[in-house]
Structure 1
């Protein structure tokens, strides 16, 4: 967004809402670093769960963990509301509004998960959630088509991530600050590797949803954890899984830069 007005929605005033929304990117960075670490451990043979719920739960186990989780919930909520405001802006293009709406749902879900874990709820299993979601959709009229459509949507999102990373289109999301006329090669490298790695994981998730639709078996639908498990069984799987984990961590480190340089 390039507006230069001094309204709270312009992202130029440094108000509390903007700062909280930027903190949401930083918290997302922490989660991706933890998730990357978990994926790397799986690639090295450890028994671990690779999903955002368990990454959040690991934060709760740290000193002042409950306080950290509530702070994360507040930051994700602020970022979700910011995206919701973007989705409702009449001067945005339809595609940008649709992407903002999708991000609203994502960050609202993360806020809810953070608050739930802070209140003592179990993190839950990402694969079980995916299977439950696919099973619920299959009970609806044309349910298999709906599950397949979800899978194709995830595959499209995966392609978007890969292209955005490979062509460094994520730089359009950032803006230079006074005294920083350009972003370092480190930020560019982290963003490139991070987006591509997320795209690879999402591609597998999407394919598994399509497989669930084709076989009418919701148990074949998986989340990121299931995608990592699938990659682990492929030729050269452990090496690929470690590389994907490092990519997720790279995306997390990129998110710290995004917290500062994001165009709001």
Structure 2
């Protein structure tokens, strides 16, 4: 058992695996840039789905799209495996509550990147999906169950908390703690600015999503729970919504560029 554990840790620490995992940040960056572009189009009166499925669908239809989708798939899966390995090997110096918190964060990120990777893989194989319809359908299923409403409410609160954490991380520049070797001067300032704007914008978008989930749960209306695309379109329909959506769209694009840069400087 110890030999297998040592082999797994050695593989997780290998340079090749690290490079593959860093590619996952590039994939996430590309995804956020495209979502931001779609959201900006929505703010200008256009159409489209400003979520994972809509963005990946656009990438699939672009020149060289299939190759790009496979690159993103492999990167996201490698990054998910990296966070999975961190649950076991990356918390040895920690103890107590700090250790449990670190494991929970790594586990959450492993799930997030595994889901994103699976979506990339689905489209790379010629399939498709609709995030908005899936979110609404899942919400309807949960609302029909006794414990489902409580679970959905907890998810809404959880999304709100994550959104708040993103805003906090951006406003306080806490995200810089995860970076190593970031140059000083203009480059460092630019990366910090991208991260600040990007984290706050993503946090705001997640906050709107969390509110919609809670509203859908309280009113027993699953059609209001339509994922990120529904959240951004709901934002557009508010007073000054087009301006707010435009700002969030630019922020998501900034976050995407930051994620690409993060692939180089992330502590791993």
- What's the TM-score, normalizing by structure 2? 0.90
Q: Deviation string for 1:210-237 (max 9, x for gaps)?
A: 1111112222212111111111111111
The within-5 A match list for 1:1-264 is: 7-10=10-13, 15-89=15-89, 90-91=91-92, 92=94, 93-122=99-128, 124-176=129-181, 180=183, 184-264=188-268
| Cα contact 2:37–2:253 (8 A) shared by 1 | yes
The alpha-carbon deviation at position 7 of structure 1 amounts to: 4.8
| Cα contact 1:194–1:252 (8 A) shared by 2 | yes
| Cα contact 2:24–2:78 (8 A) shared by 1 | yes
C-alpha distance in structure 1 between counterparts of 2:147 and 2:73, whole Å? 36
| More divergent stretch after superposition (107-116 vs 90-99) | 90-99
The alpha-carbon deviation at position 142 of structure 1 amounts to: 2.1
Q: Deviation string for 1:143-195 (max 9, x for gaps)?
A: 21111111000000010000000000000110116xx4676110000000000
Where structure 2 has 5 or more consecutive residues not aligned to the other structure, the ranges are 1-8
The alpha-carbon deviation at position 87 of structure 1 amounts to: 2.0
Q: Deviation string for 1:28-79 (max 9, x for gaps)?
A: 1111111111111100111111011121121111222212111111111000
| Cα contact 2:224–2:230 (8 A) shared by 1 | no
C-alpha distance in structure 2 between counterparts of 1:33 and 1:212, whole Å? 28
| Cα contact 1:161–1:196 (8 A) shared by 2 | yes
C-alpha distance in structure 1 between counterparts of 2:184 and 2:244, whole Å? 36
- Structure with more of its chain in helix, by fraction: 2
C-alpha distance in structure 2 between counterparts of 1:230 and 1:255, whole Å? 26
How many residue pairs align between the two structures? 253
| Cα contact 1:138–1:146 (8 A) shared by 2 | no
Q: RMSD value over aligned CA atoms?
A: 1.7
C-alpha distance in structure 2 between counterparts of 1:216 and 1:175, whole Å? 46
C-alpha distance in structure 1 between counterparts of 2:80 and 2:130, whole Å? 23
Where structure 1 has 5 or more consecutive residues not aligned to the other structure, the ranges are 1-5
Determine helix, strand or coil for the equivalent of 1:184. helix
C-alpha distance in structure 2 between counterparts of 1:102 and 1:136, whole Å? 23
| Cα contact 1:8–1:18 (8 A) shared by 2 | no
Determine helix, strand or coil for the equivalent of 2:146. coil
The alpha-carbon deviation at position 126 of structure 1 amounts to: 2.1
- What's the TM-score, normalizing by structure 1? 0.91
